[in-house]
Amino acid sequence: MDIPRPGDPHKRLEALVGEWSGAETVHPAPWDPAGGEAVGEIVNSWILDGFAVMQQYAQIRNGTRNFAGHGVFWYDPAADEYGMTWWDTMGGSASHFRGRFDGDRLVLVSDMPQGGYCRSIFDVGTPGRYSFLMEVSPDGEHWAPAMEGTYEKSAGSRESAAGSREPGAGNRKPRARATSSAKPRRKTQPAAKTAAKKRPALKAPGRKKPAVKAPARRGAKKAAGRRR
């Protein structure tokens, strides 16, 4: 049996892969009557050997993360269309989007639990940048914007081969380099050995008989050898 491989439709999702951030505008809506400005932080990573892309999303408003989401983009060869399954901190069950590419725009639509429709549009026509527009409609014909943003790819973000990049790897590495508890331990161990070697020398002036000094030095050397 031949092992399935990602095809050209899967590879079109490559334009989303990377670490992104950018300004957002939240339009007044029933779930957010005031609206306002925000910042979006996004990590899109290949999963399942290149068959899907996982998104981790956080929205920052007034310096605080107030909303987060998790999504998976995938391609359905039977229907020849793309899907996105989405969960977020608003609670409730997952949302299921379906759609296709229209030129460089991935257009996905989902039914809303309260009625009407939600449309998400990802414009990936400019390398190193993509824009997002979320719209809502009561009938699938008349659409109103709910949120939009434009995101730039982070300078350190890598466009890895499909399946070779772990989710969030770009964020974990800087934290691992920044915190290290090994160095203080390496510094204190030589100091402890030096102190152990010096203790017999401090006791020697208080001893009067040379015959007693020699065994003390031999014991100190053996003890030091065992510590090495």
Q: How far apart are CA 34 and CA 31, in angstroms?
A: 9
pLDDT digits (tens, 9 = 90+) for 109-119: 999 988 999 99
The answer to whether residues 165 and 45 touch, using CB atoms and an 8 Å cutoff, is yes
Specify the amino acid at residue 52. Answer: A
For the cut 90, the answer to whether the pLDDT of residue 87 exceeds it is yes
Q: What is the pLDDT of residue 213?
A: 44
Q: What is the pLDDT of residue 185?
A: 46
Identify the residue with better confidence: 179 or 107: 107
Residue owning tokens 């670490």: 19
CA distances from 225 to 196, 199, 202, 219 (A): 11, 15, 19, 10
pLDDT digits (tens, 9 = 90+) for 132-188: 999 999 999 999 999 999 999 997 665 543 333 333 333 333 334 444 444 444 444
Mean pLDDT of all residues in the chain?
78
Which residues are 148's β-sheet partners?
Answer: 25, 133
What's the token pair of residue 118? 């939600």
- CB neighbour list of residue 108: distance below 8 Å, 6 or more residues apart: 82, 83, 84, 97, 98, 99, 119, 120, 121, 122
Q: How far apart are CA 86 and CA 83, in angstroms?
A: 10
Mean pLDDT over 28-45 rounds to 90
For the cut 70, the answer to whether the pLDDT of residue 1 exceeds it is yes
Q: What is the pLDDT of residue 203?
A: 44
For the cut 60, the answer to whether the pLDDT of residue 18 exceeds it is yes
Identify the residue with better confidence: 20 or 1: 20
The band of 92, judged by pLDDT with boundaries at 50, 70 and 90, is confident
> How do beta strands 81-88 and 64-76 pair?
antiparallel
Q: What is the pLDDT of residue 30?
A: 75
- CB neighbour list of residue 144: distance below 8 Å, 6 or more residues apart: 27, 135, 136, 137
